[in-house]
Structure 1
C-alpha cells in the first residue's frame, strides 16, 4: 500500500474510532456537528475503508443478508444511527425525525441510504424490525439492521455505537459519503431541515 493510502487508513481508523468517546449525555457536549475527513476515492483508500468498516454480514428488516461495507456503504451517502424496537425513550423520536428527513431528501432528489442498527440483536429479529419500520412509514432505501449478536457488536464497535445495555445507546447520527471520505457526526434529533442541509452540503469545501 502506498504511503498516502496508509495514512488515509490511519486517519479513517482514528476518526471513526473516536466516535466511541462521544455521547450527548456527557456534561460537556461536543459541537452540534463535527466534521471528519477520512480518505478519498482512490482504490487504495477504498480498500482501507473496506478493511476498517469490514464486510461483516448483517440482516435487514426483510431478512436479506448484506455485507456491511460492500453492500451498504461503498459509493453511497449514508445516515447511520443506533436504536432498538422496544425502546421507550429517544428511539421513537429519533426514528420519526429521520423519517421526515428521508421524506425531505426524496422530495429534493437526494439519493441517500439510511441505516438504523439495532443495539439489541438478541430481541430485534428481522420481523420485529420490519414492524418497527412500518410504524414509522420508512421508505425504500432505509435498512433496519440486525444479525448474529457477534456481528452486530463488531459493526457497532467500528462505529462507536456499542453499549453494555440497549437503553444506554447514543443519539448519535453519522452522516457520511464513502465516495469522498467525508463524515459528519451530529444528533439524530436535530431539526430535519438542518440534517437535510448537512447532507446536501456534505462535500462543500471548508
Structure 2
C-alpha cells in the first residue's frame, strides 16, 4: 500500500472510532466532524476497498451485496445502525432519516442510504423489510443483515460494533467515496440540517 493510501485508511479508522464522543448540536445546524479520506485515484480506491472490505451483506429484499463494490464505490452514502426490535431511539432515527431522504429526493440529490442491523441473529431480511415498510422508505435505502460474522466485520470497520444491540450509537456517517469526504453527525438532527450537510458535503472549506 502506498504511504498516502495507508494514511487515509488509518485516518478513517480514527475518525469513525471517535463517533461515541460526539456531542449533540445546538440549534438547527448539526455539529459534525469532517475529514478528507483519499480521493478518486486508483490507489485511494484500492485502499478504501481494503479498508471497508467486500464482505457480503444481505438487504431487506434478500439480495446479496459486496459491501464496498456494491454499496459504497462511487456513491454518496448515509450509514446508520439500528435493529428492528429496538424499543429506544431506532424508530425515531429511522423516521427522521426518512424525512431526510424525502428532502434529498425532492432536490434531485442521488444518495444511497444504509441501515446496518446490530442484531443479525434476529433481523432477517423479512424482518427488515417489514420494519422498512413502516416508515415508507424510498428506493436506494438498504436495510442490511447477514451472518453474525459478516455483520460484525462491517460494524467494526464503521465504528458501530457493540456488545448488545441496545448499546448501539445514534451516529450517522455521511460520505462520498468519489471524493473521499466524510462527516459524522447524529441521525436525530433536524432533517433540513442533515439534508443541507449532505448537499454541501464536498464544498471547499
Q: Shorter-chain TM-score: which interval?
A: over 0.9
The corresponding residue for 2:134 is: 135
The corresponding residue for 1:95 is: 94
The corresponding residue for 1:168 is: 167
Q: Distance in 1 between matches of 2:163 and 2:5?
A: 34
The corresponding residue for 1:155 is: 154
RMSD value, Cα: 1.4
Q: Distance in 1 between matches of 2:55 and 2:183?
A: 23
Q: Distance in 2 between matches of 1:16 and 1:46?
A: 18
Say yes or no: does 1:113 pair with 2:112.
yes
The corresponding residue for 1:2 is: 2
The corresponding residue for 1:74 is: 73
How far has the Cα of 1:30 moved from its partner?
7.0
The corresponding residue for 1:124 is: 123
Q: How many residues align?
A: 200
How far has the Cα of 1:38 moved from its partner?
1.2
Say yes or no: does 1:144 pair with 2:177.
no
Query: For 2:143, what is the secondary structure of its paired residue?
Result: strand
Q: Distance in 1 between matches of 2:3 and 2:51?
A: 17
The corresponding residue for 1:14 is: 14
Q: TM-score, normalised by structure 1?
A: 0.93
How far has the Cα of 1:23 moved from its partner?
5.0
Q: Distance in 1 between matches of 2:158 and 2:11?
A: 14
The corresponding residue for 1:85 is: 84
Residue pair 2:24, 2:186 contacting (<8 A) in 1 also: no
Gapped regions of structure 2 (runs ≥ 5): 26-30
| 1:193/1:204 CA distance change after superposition, 3 Å | same
How far has the Cα of 1:12 moved from its partner?
2.9
Q: Distance in 1 between matches of 2:172 and 2:87?
A: 19
Q: TM-score, normalised by structure 2?
A: 0.93
Query: For 2:163, what is the secondary structure of its paired residue?
Result: coil
Q: Distance in 2 between matches of 1:12 and 1:89?
A: 29
Query: Runs in 1 of length 4+ with deviation above 4 angstroms?
Result: none
The corresponding residue for 2:51 is: 52
